[in-house]
Amino acid sequence: MRHNIIVGNWKMNLDRSQAVILVNQVVSQLDNKIVPEVVFAPPFVYLYKIAKICADIDKVTVASQNCSAIDKGAYTGEVSAGMIDSCNAKYVIIGHSERRLNFNESNQELKQKVNRSLANNLEVIFCCGESLDQRKESTHFKFIEQQITDSLFDLSDTDFQNVVIAYEPIWAIGTGVTATTDQAQKMHSFIRGLLTKRYG
C-alpha cells in the first residue's frame, strides 16, 4: 500500500528562532484527518530541537538532510547516522541532487550512506533525478536505473521496506520549468517497474 509523505527540505535556511516559528505555524494548521505524514528536514543544528517539538504530534516527523558514510572517527564536520538517530529523527535524505553536484557524491558513496542509515534505525529518503541534457538525449530512464541499482539493489527485502524513493527531475528545480504530470507519471511507473522486478 502506498504511503503519502510531504517532506520539507529547508536546505541551509532559517536561524533557530525562525525554525521554531515555522514548525509551530505549520503544525497549528494541520488537519490530522486528511493530512499524510509531514516531515521537516531542518539543518543539523536544529534537528534535536525540531524533533522534540514534533515528538508528540501525530503524523509529523523529522529528517536529516544528509549523513556521513562513516560510522565515527576523526572526520571534522561530519555527522554520523548514529548521531542523527540519537536526535530522534526518523528519516535521512540521501542522494539529493545538490549533494551529488556540489559535493561529487557518487552512487557508491550513497550506497554506503544508505547502509549506514539503515544500520542506525533510520529510514531513507533516496533522491534520484536526471539533468535536462539527459532528458533531451533520451538517456534519463537509463540514468535513473543506474542511480537506483548502484545505491539500493544490494539491500535485502526487509531493509528495502525502509526506503522511500523521491524522484526529483534536476532540470525542474529552481529553473521555473515544471515537469508535466505525464512526465512524472512515466518516470514513477518506470521506477515502480524496476522495484517490482527486483523486490516483487
CA atoms within 13 A on the CB side of 60: 21
Cell numbers 502506498 correspond to 2
Catalytic residue among 96, 98, 105, 130: 96
Whether 168 is catalytic is: yes
- Which residues are within 8 A (CB) of 126 and not within 5 positions of it... i.e. 6 or more apart? 94, 95, 110, 114, 148, 151, 152, 163, 164, 165, 166
Whether 96 is catalytic is: yes
Cα pseudo-dihedral 91, 97, 103, 105, rounded to 10: 70
Phi/psi region, residue 62 (left: phi>0; alpha: psi -120 to 50; beta: rest), is: beta
CA distance 199 to 197: 6
Catalytic residue among 3, 145, 168, 188: 168
So which residues are the catalytic ones? Answer: 96, 168
